[in-house]
Chains A and B, each alone.
Chain A
Amino acid sequence: MIIDFRTLDDGASLDADLCIIGAGAAGISLAHEFIGTSVSVCILESGGMELDGDIQALYEGETAGMPYFDLATCRLRFLGGSTNHWAGWCRPLDETDFEDRPWVSLSGWPIRRADLEAYYQRALPIFEIGPLDFDAHAWEGIEATRPAFDEAKLRSIFWQFSPPPVHFGEKYREDLEAASNIRLVLHASVVDIEMDTGGGEVTAVGVRSLDGRNGRVRAKAFVLACGGIENARILLAANSVEPAGIGNRHGIVGRYFMEHPNVHSGVIVTRDPQPLMENLVLHFRDSVPFQPGFAPSVDVQRELGILNASIRFAYEPDTESGTYAFQELWHGLKDGRPVRGLGEKIWQVLSDIDDVSRNVYRKVVEGKNFTTRPRYMFVACESEQMPNPDSRIMLIPEKDALGMNKVRLDWRLSELDRRTVEVVTRLFAEELGRTDLARFRLEDWLQKDSGWGDDLQGSNHHMGTTRMADDPRHGVVDRDCRVHGVSNLFVAGSSVFPTGGFATPTFTIVALALRLADHLKTRYG
């Protein structure tokens, strides 16, 4: 059932076995697991079915430290959450990402990759991807040749793309609506968490809508699933019983904010771009797109004392090439739409006919894809960030339209984060040179001893702010994603990641949500 909170009486009170706060990737996949069970579920979602400027403005905040995206645009606040504009890259974390690595301070999850394996399997159909094949073995399933890189140094990795990116709200709305044990309440922003006097149990959450209506939801258990920034914000703001916020006795909530630093690290030159253009780009396997990349082997990470990181070949097509114009003409004709600058395009094809013929031959005779001549080729590096207590989210005095304190995000990077990018880039350059595929030129910023490139950015992945650890002094939630010291409050989402690897987070977010569902079923089912 779907309810609009604004249609309820002011002061309304709802009861459920399980209250899930936030209906994004985590909240929806968790709730979906309870369909048809005896557990009554109430999902509280701040937004409606579509983007609304006033609700989106509730995400406004400040940024400090490394340049970061506008907090009001790097996530979305309506049904489906940020999956309404995500890009669909999927990859599980590596086995080593879970392990305690002595050279990475505060590394090590309380759980292992093996604990998530079955949940990664179960997550595949949710994203419409598969099989669970994300490493060197995946070369065998695609029509491409693995470059002869030394796997002991630089191992092959793959991302799979949810094709097109699954929008969780659109895809699962009907299932949730039809389920008799689920109530999805829209326009219901959680503004407070009420605790018993000892602070050991959540009794209810306070809900508010932008039209000034208030209400509360009581449940046996509560799950915060509002994204990596908002989970911390809500815990910090719930300070009526615990002055520093819930789960924050050790001052960790909001700290250890991690991203995946994303930056160009150099350009590639070669006499023959074809092997790179053919093999290191997107390939399809049973209509699922696979993108190859490379990462330092575990031995290299250990020996050189670096973090995990990915490096990926990319190029900008030469828009003046004949093949580029030919493809535009072809798509225009096929889709029956006019092509801009038709005469110019035809001339472009004719004056570069060798390039076009080569591609047509490859397509018709060899069944290969067109490869547009590159204007330039480069390398994109997306890496792990070291857990850093000074990289954090905190509340600021300014309040949003619902009266909640806004946040400041202070994103900080360390010397190890930079060195990781540098080392991995050099390894890639060395393997390109050794195999004589190409030579490599470092971006200017990597030719200096410190600092980052102007194009450095995050990846819209907000991790670590309610990190998982067995010891409450080092983490906010335990291995079951339960807030330390609170018997019935759980957290879902990448805020629980103690380290973030380089893998895009949503696949792991969903695997963890499925695991949490199993745990809650045994406790409350």
Chain B
Amino acid sequence: MIDSFGFTRRKLLSWGAVIALLPGAAGVAAGAMRDWAPDDLAAHMRDLLREIFGDRAAAKALGEAYLRRYPIPPDPADVMRDLFEDHFPRDASALARLVSERRVRDFGEGRTIVLDGWILARSEAQLCALTVLL
């Protein structure tokens, strides 16, 4: 069977690595977002995303699907603020933990988004969108 991305079911399985995102990590540092200059923030986030997404192409595909919902692409700073509230992750493990917390909360409260059929936490979709926006 072919899905709407043109992938086979076998390929879908390999997507698990991307969609199930990250293992949780402990002992992490988060800094207030206002401590970061906008350029540093974007550059830093780009690095973190590179670190956490094994399959960037898949994350991008989901990010693009998410952004198609917007007539004008949102400002990445707004997306980050919405995603991290005031706690910007300093490293990949901090990002992982924050995203994991948001994921549990989003799924638990039904804050989900359907992207090309995938049922994702809104926070996961936002993270994927950042791979496109940044």
**CB within 8 Å for A439 and B120 given contacts A426-B112, A447-B114:** yes
CB distance from B49 to the nearest CB of A (A): 18
Q: Is B126 an interface residue (CB 8 A)?
A: no
Q: Is A431 an interface residue (CB 8 A)?
A: yes
Q: Is B17 an interface residue (CB 8 A)?
A: yes
Q: Is A444 an interface residue (CB 8 A)?
A: yes
Name the CB-closest residue of B to A436.
B20
**Residue pair A441, B119 in contact (C-beta under 8 Å):** yes
Among the 9-residue stretches B39-47, B77-85, B101-109, the one with 4 or more Cβ atoms under 8 Å from chain A is B101-109
Which chain A residues (426-445) contact chain B, with CB distance < 8 Å? 426, 429-431, 433-434, 436, 438-444
Among the 9-residue stretches B7-15, B26-34, B68-76, B87-95, the one with 4 or more Cβ atoms under 8 Å from chain A is B7-15
The majority secondary structure among interface residues of chain A is: mixed
CB distance from A320 to the nearest CB of B (A): 10
Which chain A residues (398-451) contact chain B, with CB distance < 8 Å? 426, 429-431, 433-434, 436, 438-444, 447
**Residue pair A269, B15 in contact (C-beta under 8 Å):** yes
**Residue pair A430, B119 in contact (C-beta under 8 Å):** yes
Provide the residues of chain B in CB contact with A433, threshold 8 Å. 103, 107, 112, 119-121
Which chain A residues (362-385) contact chain B, with CB distance < 8 Å? 374-376
**C-alpha spacing A433/B104, complex, angstroms:** 7
Candidates A269, A429, A431; contact of B12 at CB < 8 Å: A269
**C-alpha spacing A444/B3, complex, angstroms:** 8
**Residue pair B117, A431 in contact (C-beta under 8 Å):** no
Total contacts A to B, CB within 8 angstroms? 72
Provide the residues of chain A in CB contact with B110, threshold 8 Å. 430
**C-alpha spacing A436/B123, complex, angstroms:** 14
Q: Is B6 an interface residue (CB 8 A)?
A: no
Given A429-B119, A439-B120, A444-B117, 18 additional A-B pairs, CB 8 A: A150-B108, A267-B9, A269-B20, A375-B9, A376-B12, A426-B119, A429-B112, A430-B107, A430-B108, A430-B110, A433-B119, A434-B108, A438-B16, A439-B16, A439-B19, A441-B117, A441-B118, A447-B117
| Chain A residues engaging chain B, CB cutoff 8 angstroms | 150, 266-267, 269-271, 374-376, 426, 429-431, 433-434, 436, 438-444, 447
Q: 8 A-B contacts, Cβ less than 8 Å apart?
A: A269-B19, A429-B119, A430-B107, A433-B112, A434-B108, A436-B103, A439-B120, A441-B12
